[in-house]
Amino acid sequence: MKILKLSVFLFAAAVFSSAAAFAGDNNKVTLNLFEKVSVEGRTLSPGHYTVSWEGSGPTVQVTIAQGKQTLASFSAHVTEQATPNPATAYGSSLEADGSHSLTSIYVGGKRTSLELEQKEARQQTSTPAAK
């Protein structure tokens, strides 16, 4: 009887851990930046970045990393788009000094976008990024 209980427990643990690992991949995308953008006071150069987010509900914690190095971490609002985004992309705003600030990240293949809080009204631009 103890072996049966232990087997059921181990099977359930394996199922839950694999489901958690699978669910974690849903909140991670590769983002290609084609221009310098600033986010949370940090300037990100053009290149490939990993964007991941944690949390449920309208506000999540977003992390942008390159390799194993975390470059920025910030809160964002999750919004649903009318149609799935054709590719992972980002939105930026043009600042008075000519630089660009990251304003949103559009998750490719899903209707999800991550909207950063805007401190003031700015000119919006969107740039598609390949998956």
> What is the SS3 assignment for 89-125?
EEEEEECCCCCEEEEEEECECCCEEEEECCCCCCEEE
Amino acid making up residue 5: K
| Residue 5 in this model has a pLDDT that exceeds 50 | no
> What share of the chain has pLDDT > 70, as a percent?
70
| Sign of CA pseudo-dihedral 27, 30, 32, 36 | positive
Side-chain half-sphere exposure of 92, counting CA atoms within 13 A: 21
| Percent of the chain surpassing pLDDT 90 | 66
Q: Is the pTM of this model over 0.85?
A: no
Name the token pair of 12: 């359930």
Q: What is the pLDDT of residues 60-117, one digit of tens each?
A: 999 999 999 999 999 999 999 999 999 999 999 999 999 999 999 999 999 999 999 7
Q: Let me know: does 94 contact 122? Beta carbons within 8 Å.
A: yes
At 57, the pLDDT band (50, 70, 90 cuts) reads confident
